[in-house]
Amino acid sequence: MFAKKTSKYTYGMQISDTEAKLVEILNQNGQVILTQRHAIALDRGSIKHGKFMDEEAVISRISTLVKQIGLQGAHMNVTVPLSNVVLRKSVFSALKDKALRNLIDVELHGGQQLPFKNPVFDFVRLGPPKDEAAAGSEAPPKSAKASTQEEVLIFATPAEVVESYTHVVKQAGLVPVSVDLAPLALHRMLVRQAMRTGTGMKERFMLLHVEPDHADVSIFVGGIPVFFRSIQINTSFFLDTGTDQIAAYGRNLSMELGRVLNYFQYTVSTDHQHIELVYLVGEHSWIEALPEHLDNAFTGEIAAFPLPSILSDEDATCHAYAVPVGLAMKGA
């Protein structure tokens, strides 16, 4: 019975510190239909800052959900926490994929560019370096015959993080078929929407994914992710009597976001241009209430991520499932 569904349905799962979200989508005639969505709370402290403190507790909770909804053996696209991901740009001689991957592997394992050991990585070719000086900053190895060079964007994360997430998914009765990043999953949906509607995307924008204890910042320029940052939000003062949680969260986030935007504009960005648009991703009540609290950090356009229009679904609660939907679209 399940085997018949796999040709039509695809699945995505997001595991955070506090809950696991799982969706099933149907891609029919170019239309993405959200056919199932589930969320299950995880035991407090079983995951901390994206690292498993109690794998068995997480496996138990997810496997219970999987059995209840009858999805044992489903092929699952999963994500790893952005806090464990590092972005790097490098210039290499123009090579075929296998040779380039080997060269990147040597650089990541032999240099001191990463804050962790034993990385796993993927890469995107960005084309010829925009700056000839940058192209000359890394001389190609003597064995390289190619005279042309290209810029490469590298995504790296510790192998143990990927292994721990795929292990949990397997033990919960699912089959992990891809490991992706939440910003790339979200961007995938924006590209799909742009193709469907014939409208272009902003040249530079931010995805601001808000969770109760942290916010993930992803900045895209020209369709390419150029900056990732995970911001931990101090939640201790939320317990004060009379404190509005979203307002307190917004004040804290606004202060941190202002620092991030300044750092990006004057240190990371090559042209020092402002971000044109911020997409808020998260629970509907949060993305509705937060904009008024972020005015001090960002005066441009702040909009809810357009998931309802991508799904043609007027149910606002679908906002909370944006990431797993984007993950599921990888297999659609």
The answer to which of 13-27, 187-201, 277-291 has the lowest mean pLDDT is: 187-201
pLDDT tens figures, 274-286: 888 999 999 999 9
Q: Residue 75 is inside which H or E element, if any? A: strand 75-79
> What average pLDDT does the chain have?
86
Kindly give the pairing relationship between strand 9-15 and strand 204-211: unpaired
pLDDT tens figures, 223-260: 999 999 999 887 665 555 567 888 888 888 999 999 99
Cα-based distances in Å from 276 to 227, 254, 301: 15, 17, 7
**What confidence tier does 134 reach under pLDDT thresholds 50, 70, 90?**
very low
Give the rounded percent of residues in the chain with a pLDDT score beyond 90.
53
For residue 172, what is the DSSP state? Answer: T
Q: Is the pLDDT of residue 270 over 80?
A: no
Question: CB pairs under 8 A, 24+ apart, for 62-69?
Answer: 62/15, 62/20, 62/168, 62/169, 62/172, 62/174, 63/171, 63/172, 63/173, 64/40, 65/20, 65/22, 65/38, 65/40, 66/22, 66/172, 66/173, 66/174, 67/173, 69/22, 69/36, 69/38
Instruction: Tell me the average pLDDT across 92-101.
Output: 90
314: helix, coil or strand? Answer: coil
Q: Can you give the pLDDT at residue 281?
A: 96
**Residue count (the chain):** 332
